[in-house]
């Protein structure tokens, strides 16, 4: 993430923030992505009820994904005991500072100031299981966004892991390409 294009200088401070925040590694890291490995992983991924591990194989090699693995790979700087949701009152207060014009929950992206809407868009695409075109942030996603803005503790690793688990449990093949950094 470099300088914003001409006419978008308002976003310079946001770009600086994204480059220095705890999620910057996940936003900026550019790993070699092997589509065949990712497809292999998701086609073979399994989990058992109550299990906290995703088991799969890539080219006949067993792969185990846990919250701890995500924390180590993406360097979020979070801890296992950090929250994944903040009190509604705290979230509403921050949304108000962000010039949010709607009611909460949920958070509607288009009701955020364009500056914060861009951050919400980047957050959803890079950290959540959502694909482009989603305009509503869940309570958990909004908590993650305001935590990023305010520098609050938040368990981004657990959120990413839970999204991956949901993907395995629902066999949602349309999200197969969302989590390439762990493979």
Task: Tell me the per-residue pLDDT of 56-96, one tens digit each, with 9 for 90 and over.
Answer: 999 999 999 999 999 998 888 999 999 999 999 999 999 99
Separation between Cα atoms, residue 44 and residue 56, nearest integer Å: 5
> Could you list the residue range(s) of the whole structural domain that residue 167 is in?
33-77+156-174
Separation between Cα atoms, residue 63 and residue 132, nearest integer Å: 28
User: Is residue 92 a part of any domain in this protein?
Assistant: no
Separation between Cα atoms, residue 114 and residue 143, nearest integer Å: 19
User: Is residue 96 a part of any domain in this protein?
Assistant: no
User: Is residue 164 a part of any domain in this protein?
Assistant: yes
Domain count, the chain: 1
User: Is residue 51 a part of any domain in this protein?
Assistant: yes
User: Is residue 149 a part of any domain in this protein?
Assistant: no
Q: What is residue 178's predicted lDDT score, i.e. its pLDDT?
A: 60
User: Is residue 1 a part of any domain in this protein?
Assistant: no
User: Is residue 70 a part of any domain in this protein?
Assistant: yes
Q: What is the mean pLDDT of each run of 10 residues along the chain (183 residues)?
A: 66 78 75 81 89 93 94 91 97 95 94 91 79 83 94 94 86 59 48
User: Is residue 133 a part of any domain in this protein?
Assistant: no
Paired strand residues for 58: 61
């Amino acid at each position: 993430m470099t300088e914003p294009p001409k006419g978008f200088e308002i976003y310079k401070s946001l770009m600086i923030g994204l480059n220095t925040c705890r999620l910057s590694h996940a936003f900026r890291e550019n790993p070699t992505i092997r589509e065949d490995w990712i497809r292999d992983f998701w086609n073979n991924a399994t989990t058992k009820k109550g299990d906290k591990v995703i088991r799969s194989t890539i080219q006949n090699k067993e792969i185990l994904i846990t919250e701890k693995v995500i924390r180590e790979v993406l360097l979020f700087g979070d801890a296992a005991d950090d929250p994944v949701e903040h009190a509604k009152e705290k979230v509403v207060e921050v949304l108000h500072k962000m010039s949010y014009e709607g009611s909460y929950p949920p958070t509607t992206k288009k009701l955020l100031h364009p500056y914060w809407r861009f951050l919400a868009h980047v957050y959803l695409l890079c950290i959540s299981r959502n694909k482009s075109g989603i305009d509503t942030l869940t309570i958990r996603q909004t908590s993650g966004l305001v935590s990023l803005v305010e520098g609050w503790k938040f368990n981004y690793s657990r959120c990413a892991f839970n999204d991956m688990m949901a993907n395995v449990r629902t066999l949602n093949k349309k999200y197969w390409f969302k989590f390439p950094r762990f493979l």
